[in-house]
Structure 1
Amino acid sequence: MVANHKEQTNKSRNILSGILFGIGFASFIDEAVFHQLLRWHHFYDKSTTEIGLISDGLFHAFSWFATIGGLFLFADLRRRKALEPLIWWGSILLGAGGFQLYDGTIQHKFMKLHQIRYVDNVFVYDLVWNVIAILMIIAGLALILSPKRRREAS
C-alpha cells in the first residue's frame, strides 16, 4: 500500500513537472515567435502598442515562471530517482497542447485579447493552431497511458 502511494505521488509529480514545463515552453515559443519575431500580435491588442508590449512582458514572465517551476520539479524527480521519462514527455505535450488550445479558443475567440494573425481569413490560422494543439494533447495522453510504460512499472 505504501509503495502504491509513493508510485502515485511520483506519477503526479512527473505529470505536474511536465505540464508546467510544457505550458512554459509553449508560452515562450508563442511569445518569442508570434509576438516578437513575426509581430503578428501582442498578448493584449485592445489598446496602444505600448500596453501591448507591457502585456507581452508579463506573458513572458509567466512563461518563465512555469518553465522554471517545471524544471525545479524535474530536478527533484531526478534527485529522488523517480523520473518516469514517458510520463514526463507526455505531460510536456499535454501541457503545451493544453496551453495552445486554451490560447486558441479562450484567449483568441472568447476573451478576444488578440487574434493569432490579423488577416481576412483567420479561420485557416485558427484551424491549424487548434488542430496542432489537439494532436499534441492526444500524443501526450498516448505517452502517459502507454502500455509499454505500464509494463515497465510492473
Structure 2
Amino acid sequence: MANVRKAAPVAPAALVLGLGVGGFVDGIVVHQLLGWHHMLSGWYPDDLHANMVGDGLFHLLCLLLVLTGVVLLNRTAPLPAPVLWGGVLAGWGVFNLVEGVLNHLVLGVHHVRTGPHELAYDLGFLVFGALLVVVGVLLSRHREPRGDRVTTSRP
C-alpha cells in the first residue's frame, strides 16, 4: 500500500493570515468603532493610557501575523481561492476561540461587552468563532473538478 499523505484541512499560510485578519477585525470593530472594550479594560477599566498601549501592542501583533501569513503565502504555489479564503476564515475563527477563551473567560483581561449580558456576548463571540472555523475548513476543502477538459485555441 502506498504511503499517501493527507492534505491539511487548511493551508497554514492562509490560517496565519486569518489569525491576523481576525485580530484586526476585532480590534477595529469592537475596540475602536463600537467602543465596547479595550485590550486591558477588564484589568484597568479607568486607565485609558494603559488600554491604548494594550490596543497598540495587540494591533502590532496582528500586523506581524498578517505579514507572516503573506511571507508564507509567497513561499507556496498560488492557492485556489476557496483554499485561501477558507483558511483565512478558519484562522479568524481560531483567533476568536483562543482570544475568547483566554482573554474573556480565563484571564478576564476584557469581555466583548461588559454589563448585564456579559457572558452572553462572550459566548456569542465563541460560537461565531466556531462557525468561522467550520465554514473555513469546509470551504478550504472545496476542490475544483479536475475533469479532463481539453482546451483548443482558435486562430
Scaled to the shorter chain, the TM-score interval is 0.7 to 0.9
Which whole-Å CA distance do the structure 2 matches of 1:61 and 1:126 have between them?
23
Shift of 1:96: 0.3
Shift of 1:139: 0.7
Tell me the TM-score normalized by structure 1: 0.79
Structure 1 portions without partners, runs of 5+: none
Candidates 87, 106, 110, aligned match of 2:102: 106
1:49-73: CA deviation from partner (whole Å, max 9, x where unpaired) = 2111111000000101111111222
Q: Which residue of 1 aligns with 2:71?
A: 72
1:107-136: CA deviation from partner (whole Å, max 9, x where unpaired) = 100011101111111133123212111111
Q: Which residue of 2 aligns with 1:22?
A: 18
Taking only the aligned residue pairs, the percentage that are identical comes to 28
Secondary structure of 1:109's match? helix
Candidates 109, 123, 127, aligned match of 1:131: 127
Larger Rg: 2
**Could you say what the CA RMSD is over the residues aligned between the two structures, in angstroms?**
2.5
State how many pairs are aligned.
Answer: 141
Q: Which residue of 1 aligns with 2:62?
A: 63
Question: Which amino acid in the other structure matches residue 140 of structure 1?
Answer: G
Which whole-Å CA distance do the structure 2 matches of 1:104 and 1:75 have between them?
30
Which whole-Å CA distance do the structure 1 matches of 2:146 and 2:73 have between them?
20
Which whole-Å CA distance do the structure 1 matches of 2:91 and 2:71 have between them?
16
Could you say which structure has the higher helix fraction? 1
Q: Which residue of 1 aligns with 2:90?
A: 94
Shift of 1:19: 0.8
Q: Which residue of 1 aligns with 2:153?
A: none
